[in-house]
Structure 1
Amino acid sequence: MTEKLTLTSPADLRAYVPHLLGGTPTESFVVLTATAGALGATLRVDAPMDAAPLGFAQTVTSLAAQDENATACYLIVYTDETSTDARFPYAAHVAALGNELATARMPVRKVYLVTSTHWAAYGSTERNPLEQITDSNANATLTFMGSAAAVDVYNPALLGKWVEPVQVPVRTEESVEEARREWGTALDADGMPDHETARKLAAWFQDKYIRDFLMADTITTNNGVILDIILGKFNGRPDWKRVDHAETIAFELMKAVPEGQRAPMLTLMGWLQWLKGSGKHAARYLKLAVEDVHGYQFAEQLYDLISSVYIAEVAKNQETAYKRPTS
């Protein structure tokens, strides 16, 4: 978003987060860095559950500190966990994180709690209705600008149930080049591939060697090393509009094949969401991939990477990170 947005209330800050992350977090800690009256990076990690408070706090702080310009931050705890006191869920973790962030010279200005029924300043007895967030000036402004707080191209109701499986093609130098050429053409086109082309592309995605090349080719700027590309290490800013289009195409390919052959496309969608900085949506797609093909190794490996709070290199840099589009 290139327009300047002024946040004037706690509800505005709460409303801003779903637009940045592509949906309202659940069971999460969200850290928003700040400097000179402006917000910087946004970091979402899963709620710590059984993690040791100090180790959790140190990990989150090391990630937040990658915003080298930050001089302060805000913390929002999204949870329905109550423990012994509903006002202080994950109290030890919040305290440890506050200490670590202060030591890193980016002290926490405010801590807020958001549940499925209300929001409040952390530790207070107040119960503010969630409607204050949806009715806030920031939410209205962002919606008017064309931002959507929840963007999800995956709709299982649209997936066919009586579709013939595709045959995995024989891998040759020529077939790899043809697959990459067809995938590039689909990414550069405005619309969706026809049914025959969708099935052909879906068949190529079944081959893990070709799949990796197609995933790498989705990114317009890279150093040519597939492992680096998978880890989000690029030479410049990707064409994020092309990435959005790739995710939509991936779902179109899923409609052209039966269950048991959708895992590669679900993994692509999860990977693209991770590159955008949305671990929540990434994890969802990767779990669906493993459900589609039990033990689908690539999806399991990416899920383990995300679960260890590893953030894609491209998402750490404000110059290269995904900016949610406006229409």
Structure 2
Amino acid sequence: MNSTDLPRLTVRSPADLIAAVPYLLGFHPAESIVVVAMSGSRIVFAARSDLPGDADPREAAGHIAAVTARQGADSATVIGYGPAAQVTPALDALRDVLADAGLAVLDALRVTDGRWWSYLCTEPDCCPPEGNAYDPRASSVPAAAVFAGQVALPDRATLARQVAPIGEATMRPAIERAEQRLTALLAGAPASDLLGRRALRVAGVAAYRAARRRHRDGERLTDDEVAWLCLLLTHLPVRDHAWERTDGRVEDVAFWSELLRRAEPELIAAPGALLAFAAWRDGQGALAAVALERVLAEHPDYSLALLMDDLLRRGVPPSRLDGWPIDGSATGSKRGKRRPRRRQPRRRDQ
């Protein structure tokens, strides 16, 4: 199974759906509201947000409902994780705004301490007042998901650690060497090369190609290779060259993850934004979100990160932009469209 083929998980009961949610999101939710959107009998979208806490539940519900309504879904199941005092008003608000958006709410569930309750079922035989105990191990869903190569991390913090800095002390000297190399490159550019732009792009393309080739061969990039490429990626023509060649492939996600984790904070903007793009293209909205959080904390005005953050917040599906930025306006390049991607359930997290 490649990264564009999420497994078909057969869901026959609320317990099965609860068991499936961590694999739809990529991690086990807690203190959360989750929407699982359907088109017919097919799951097309899963989104998560924090419980609103003291905030107006209708405001939070309105945002996640608006995102869900744009996914081509006709129905949804909503699930709240946490104590009843926090989950109930959040789910009530979400059910109302989903209905106002024209989506049928198939069920509304609360999950607390290994038990689940339905807000729509009043039959004591199947939905007793004390709730239903559930054990995900009793469902066939986790086994099917694991067999298909899907992973459900323990929580969102574990996911965030996948983009956390490695903190190699040797990177700072490597950056200093890269800066000296860049100074020499610009000094050696011919007078006809205004501001050394051509020399920068040639060097950037060469560095990107060499790094991708070594990464595909399973070789670990040296500190100097990481520092040099990340420094060159601060120049937009180099960044856009890499962007045009980034899609939702496993190797794209792995490559940009490594660069983001190893780069020093001042150089993480391009690798982090490109990781977010690759993860979003692969349907890994939660991974894209944590990558963007890290980038925007250091570089709040970085345009590509802001663009990706807007796409995630509006729930734009990757299929809407097949071929972009190759055939889009971002770079003006016209190399032709990428091959169409198979439709898959989309995951979003905020």
TM-score, normalised to structure 1, is 0.70
Matched ranges for 1:303-322 at <5 A: 305=310, 309-314=313-318
Matched ranges for 1:111-150 at <5 A: 111-115=108-112, 117-122=113-118, 125-126=130-131, 128=133, 132-150=135-153
1:63-114 CA distance string (max 9 Å, x none):
222343x442111123x4xxxxx32424333223212323444221211223
Q: C-alpha displacement at 1:147, in angstroms?
A: 1.7
1:14-69 CA distance string (max 9 Å, x none):
2222222222234432211234443332233443345544444343333222343x
Aligned twin of 2:90: 93
Gaps of 5+ in 2: 120-128, 187-195, 322-339
What letter corresponds to residue 318 of structure 2 in structure 1? V
Q: 2:84 aligns to what SS in structure 1?
A: coil
What letter corresponds to residue 281 of structure 1 in structure 2? L
RCO higher in 1 or 2 (8 Å CA, sep ≥ 6)?
2
Aligned twin of 2:294: 288
Cα pair distance change 1:96/1:3, threshold 3 Å? closer
Aligned twin of 2:80: 77
Q: C-alpha displacement at 1:186, in angstroms?
A: 4.2
Distance 2:13 2:162 in 1: 33
Cα pair distance change 1:197/1:50, threshold 3 Å? same
Aligned twin of 1:160: 168
Aligned match for 1:180, one of 177, 187, 205 = 205
Aligned twin of 2:331: none
**Preserved contact between residue 179 and residue 210 of structure 1 (Cα < 8 Å):** yes
Aligned twin of 1:230: none
1:194 has 2:221 as partner: yes
Q: C-alpha displacement at 1:319, in angstroms?
A: 5.5
Q: C-alpha displacement at 1:320, in angstroms?
A: 5.6
Q: C-alpha displacement at 1:138, in angstroms?
A: 0.3
What letter corresponds to residue 154 of structure 1 in structure 2? Q
Gaps of 5+ in 1: 81-85, 220-239
Aligned match for 1:246, one of 235, 246, 252 = 252
Distance 1:322 1:177 in 2: 37
Q: C-alpha displacement at 1:256, in angstroms?
A: 5.3
Q: 2:131 aligns to what SS in structure 1?
A: coil
**Preserved contact between residue 273 and residue 308 of structure 2 (Cα < 8 Å):** no
Q: What count of residue pairs does the alignment treat as equivalent?
A: 290
What letter corresponds to residue 133 of structure 2 in structure 1? N
Aligned twin of 1:228: none
Matched ranges for 1:28-47 at <5 A: 28-47=32-51
Distance 1:194 1:15 in 2: 39
What letter corresponds to residue 126 of structure 1 in structure 2? G
1:153-193 CA distance string (max 9 Å, x none):
83758541233242343552232144235425544634346
Q: 2:78 aligns to what SS in structure 1?
A: strand
Distance 1:63 1:294 in 2: 26
Larger radius of gyration: 2
